[in-house]
Structures are given as structure tokens and as C-alpha cells.
Amino acid sequence: MKLRSALLLVPATLALAAALLAPATAGGATARPGHAPTTLRELAKQQHIKIGSAVDVAALAAEADYRRVLNREFNSITAENAMKWESIEPQRGVFDWSGADAIVANARRNHQAIRGHTLAWHNQLPTWITDNEANFTAAELRGILRRHVMTEAGRYRGQIRAWDVLNEAVADGGGLRDTIWLRKLGPGYIADLFRWAHQADPHAKLYYNDYNLESDQAKFDTMFQVVTDLLEDGVPIHGVGFQGHLDIQFSFPDFAGHMKRITDLGLEVAITEADVRMFLPVTDEKLATQASYYSQMMSACIANRRCTEYTVWGYTDRHSWVPGFFEGQGAACLLDENLAPKPAYDALLALGGKRT
């Protein structure tokens, strides 16, 4: 298989990659050199973190090579779309758990932790909700949201390591995002969500998850205030997910510093949706920058003892959301369309060693 044969080339490049990339670690808590891992799963074990990937449920069912590499490389998974509201309850009261169940079953067979994504979001809601916003009373909509959280988190009770309870509720540039939930229920919906999720699955770690927290200071500040208020009110929140959708045209943002602000509160952090996009065509130089960004995100996680997980938003360019959302951009994943590892993959393996 392509990946296996390509892996034989890794040791030759390891020393160079390590020399180039490892020193980027913030705070001096760099991984010590040690036994070089040959898979991300091995790296995860050495560093005592979960290394995960978002899973495309159609590819999981249809592509044996996709499945094989997913299960070999990752000890955690997130459903890319299959656990979102529009997927599981497309019509009111009509549930379709097939995709989510298939992902959970595959993860359990392969001893992978599961990140639940996501209980409350403003995107990928079923039309029976979005089309009826004006018709629902606040009490009715609150009941619908509560029942959704209790049903979904309850179904997978005990099987989910961490839930993205609330996704992207802060606006770009700061302030709470104007969503159906905020408009109809007011800001109190946030605490409600976490309390309901905790009731439904008391052992799951409950996260707030968002993008650009490391680069949009006003957005970070609003999130920080929300999280601090929740903690002061005794609401069960355990972590903040930094999605990590990066673009090599921008400089590498301060993950370590922003993650530390959160972990200083006693919370966990995780990189939950890492990918690093570029304008096509791909060049060696762009791939080197991409490798450095993936590696620096991992280093920031390894350096922070409360960073529990590093999940990529798809591991192969064969299945990536990027080309469909950013015109002219792509090649954002660790492996190419043929599942051959890119320099970014080697750069992550080069961080192998003992966690200090």
C-alpha cells in the first residue's frame, strides 16, 4: 500500500524534519527525542493525547483504504456531519441514527475514543426548525432543544469522551452570535445546554467549540467571558475546543498563549478540527509551511498538560470540506488524495518522544 511504502522513507527525513520543526514548541516543553513513532496512533500513545480525525460516513462505508488508514492512524474520531441535527432528525420526530451509529460502531471496534459533534449549532439545522422560527414560542423552542440534547447525548451515554455541546456561538469580531437560539431563548440557553448534556451523559467532557479563537482577540474575549460566567455559576463545562482551521497565507497564530488562558481556569483544551489550506497549485514551499503549521499546533498541544486531543478535520485531501468552501484553495490535509503522507504527516511523527 502507498502509505506503508512511503513510511519506509520517513526515517531518512526524520532528523531533518525534527531539527526544522520541533524547536517551534512554545514554553520550552518540547518533546524529548525518543523512539520514533511510525503512526499517529503511536505518537498519541507516547504523548498521552488523543489524535483524531473527522470521519466521512460515506467514505467509511465505501472505501476500504480510507477505513484501513483511519483505523491504523487515529485513536479518536469525530463524526464530520453524521451527528448534526439535520442528519439525525431531518423531519420532526423522524430519527435516522444510521450514520452516527456506524461511526460509533467502527470506533468501538477499533478502540478509538469518540468526540461528539455537535449538540447545538446554528448551521446544519433541519428545515423544520429554521423554516418555523417565527411560529415557535420561546418555551416550545426551548423544549425542542432540550429534547434534542437529552435524546442524542442520552443515546450515546457512556460512549462519548467529549461532546462539542455548543459550536460557534460567538460572532467573528466578538459578541454573541445572532442565532435562532440567542434570538428566541436569550443568552441563558448556553447554561441550559451544558446542564442538559451533563444530565444526559454525566461522564462526558463538555466543551465549547469555535474557530479563530487563537487569532480573533475580540472573539476570544467574548468566549472567555462566557466560559468564566459558566464556571462561576457552577455550570458543568470542562473544556474549550480550538478548531484550528488555518490558512498558510496568514501567519501562525498564538495557540499556546490562548490555550493557556483557558487551562489556567482549570479547563481542558483540545485542537478539534485542524487543517491547513493553501491556494492551489501545491508547491514544496507551501507544503513546508503547511507542515510547520500542523507541527506548531501539535507542539502547542503537547506543551500544555491540559491539552487532551489533536483532531484533524479529515485526514485526506480526497475528502475535505476546503475546496467546496474556499475557491481556489485545497490540499489542506495530512495525506493526499491517494492517502500518501505529505510533509505535514512526517512533521507530526517527528514530534515523537516522551511528554515532559
- Output 106 or 320, the one with its CB closest to ligand 9MR: 320
In whole angstroms, what is the distance from residue 251 CA to residue 236 CA?
A: 35
273 included as an active-site residue: yes
Binding site for ligand 9MR (CB under 6 A): 80-81, 123-124, 167, 211, 243, 273, 321
Least distance CB 343 / ligand 9MR (angstroms)? 23
- Output 18 or 83, the one with its CB closest to ligand 9MR: 83
Grid cell at residue 281:
497549485
| Residue 6 near residue 338, CB atoms below 8 Å | no
In this chain, which residue has its C-beta nearest to ligand 9MR?
Answer: 321
Least distance CB 82 / ligand 9MR (angstroms)? 10
Bridge partner residues of 311 (DSSP):
52
Least distance CB 22 / ligand 9MR (angstroms)? 29
Which one of the listed residues 73, 89, 152, 273 is annotated catalytic?
273
Grid cell at residue 62:
465505501
Least distance CB 314 / ligand 9MR (angstroms)? 7
Which one of the listed residues 73, 152, 168, 268 is annotated catalytic?
168
Nearest to 18 by CA among 349, 328, 304, 350: 350
- Output 214 or 273, the one with its CB closest to ligand 9MR: 273
Grid cell at residue 118:
455537535
Least distance CB 33 / ligand 9MR (angstroms)? 35
- Output 19 or 62, the one with its CB closest to ligand 9MR: 62
Grid cell at residue 243:
478548531
Residue whose entry in the numeric block shows the C-alpha cell 450514520: 99
In whole angstroms, what is the distance from residue 49 CA to residue 42 CA?
A: 10
Least distance CB 105 / ligand 9MR (angstroms)? 21
- Output 18 or 312, the one with its CB closest to ligand 9MR: 312
Amino acid letter at 107? A
**In 25-135, which residue ranges form alpha helices assigned H by DSSP?**
40-47, 57-62, 64-73, 85-88, 98-109, 127-130
Bridge partner residues of 269 (DSSP):
240, 307
Q: Please give the C-alpha separations between residue 174 and each of 1, 24, 64, 216, 280, in angstroms, as whole numbers.
A: 47, 29, 43, 8, 31
327 included as an active-site residue: no
> Please, which contacts does 180-187 make with residues 24 or more away whose CB atoms are closer than 8 Å?
180/122, 180/125, 180/129, 180/130, 180/133, 180/141, 181/120, 181/122, 181/145, 183/133, 184/133, 184/136, 184/138, 184/141, 184/142, 185/138, 185/141, 185/142, 185/145, 186/138
Least distance CB 177 / ligand 9MR (angstroms)? 13
Catalytic site positions? 168, 273
